[in-house]
Amino acid sequence: MILLMACTESKDKPFQNNENLKNENPNRITIINSLDKTYPYIIYKELTLEELLKGEVVSDTIYSPDTLFFKLNESVQLINITPTDEFNPQSFLVQTGDTLNINSIKNKLHINRVENGKLIPIKWDYSHIIPKSKLFLKLDSLESFFLIEEKIANLNSFLPNIKNSDEWDLKLPEHLKQIDESYSILIDSINRNDNQLNKAYNQLIQKDQILRTINVLSIVNNKLETEKFYKKLFTLEYFKNRYLSDIYGIYYLRKFHFNNDITLPEVYNREFKEYPEVISRYFKFRLISSMVEKKYNRKTILNFLNKYKEEYGDFSPLENILNEIEYGVETSPDLALIDYESNVSNWEEKKKQWKGKIIYLDFWASWCAPCLRAMPYSKDLKEKLASKEIVFVYLALNDKEDMWRNSAQKNQIIENNFFIKNSKSSEFISNYNINAIPRYMIFDKNGMLIHEDAPGPETKEAFEILSELLKD
Q: Same structural domain for residues 54 and 189?
A: no
- Predicted pLDDT of residue 106: 75
Amino acid at 431: N
Judged by DSSP in three states, 438 sits in coil
> Is the pLDDT score of 182 beyond 90?
yes
Question: How many whole angstroms separate alpha carbon 177 and alpha carbon 175?
Answer: 5
Lowest-confidence range among 143-157, 165-179, 276-290, 382-396?
Answer: 143-157
Which pLDDT belongs to residue 26?
A: 67
Least confident of 30-39, 209-218, 337-346, 368-377: 30-39
Please check whether residue 13 lies inside any domain of the structure.
no
Asked if the structure places residue 83 within a domain, the reply is yes
* Within-domain flag for 2: no
Q: How high is the pLDDT of residue 430?
A: 84
81, 196: one domain: no
pLDDT, tens only, 298-318: 889 989 999 999 999 888 888
Q: How far apart are CA 445 and CA 6, in angstroms?
A: 53
Domain count, the chain: 3
Residue 85 has a pLDDT of 73
The whole-number pLDDT of residue 172 equals: 96
Q: Taking residues 282-287, report their average pLDDT.
A: 94
106 & 68 share domain = yes
Residue 374 reports pLDDT greater than 50: yes
Give CA–CA dist 18/24, Å, rounded: 10
Given a cut of 60, whether residue 126 has pLDDT beyond it is: yes
Last residue of a domain, which of 276, 299, 324?
Answer: 324
Instruction: Please give the residue range of the domain that contains residue 368.
Output: 336-471
Residues 6+ apart with CB under 8 A from 370: 437, 438
Residue 196 lies in a domain: yes
138 pLDDT above the threshold of 60: yes
pLDDT digits (tens, 9 = 90+) for 318-329: 888 887 787 877
Residues 64 and 119 in one domain: yes
Pair (54, 144) in one structural domain: no
Assess whether 364 and 233 both reside in one domain: no
Report pTM: 0.69
Is 9 within the bounds of a domain? no
Distance (Å, whole) CA 213 – CA 14: 44
Instruction: Decide which of 105, 124, 143 is a domain's last residue.
Output: 124
Domain boundary at 124, 142, 175, which? 124
Residues 310 and 413 in one domain: no
Kindly state whether residue 8 falls inside one of the protein's structural domains.
no
Whether residues 100 and 33 fall in one domain: yes
DSSP state of 330: P
DSSP tag of 332? B
Among 86-100, 112-126, 191-205, 442-456, top mean pLDDT goes to 442-456
Helix axes 245-252 and 196-220, enclosed angle (nearest 10) = 20
Mean pLDDT computed over every residue of the chain: 87
Q: What is the pLDDT at residue 11? A: 31
Residue 373 and residue 395 share a domain:
yes
pLDDT class for 223, splitting at 50, 70, 90? very high
Same domain, 47 and 78: yes
Q: Which pLDDT belongs to residue 7?
A: 30
Compute and round to an integer the Cα radius of gyration of the chain.
29
Q: How far apart are CA 39 and CA 109, in angstroms?
A: 12
Same domain for 317 and 353, yes or no, is no
Determine, yes or no, domain membership for 1. Answer: no
Q: Provide the pLDDT for residue 1.
A: 27
Does the structure show a pLDDT above 90 at 372?
yes
CATH number at residue 119: 2.60.40
Q: What is the pLDDT of residue 107?
A: 74
Question: How high is the pLDDT of residue 371?
Answer: 93
Residue 13 has pLDDT above 70, yes or no: no
- Confidence band, pLDDT 50/70/90 cuts, at residue 16: very low
> In this structure, is residue 113 part of a structural domain?
yes
What CATH number has the domain bearing residue 357? 3.40.30.10
| 281 shares its domain with 386 | no
pLDDT digits (tens, 9 = 90+) for 84-115: 777 788 999 999 999 999 988 777 788 999 99
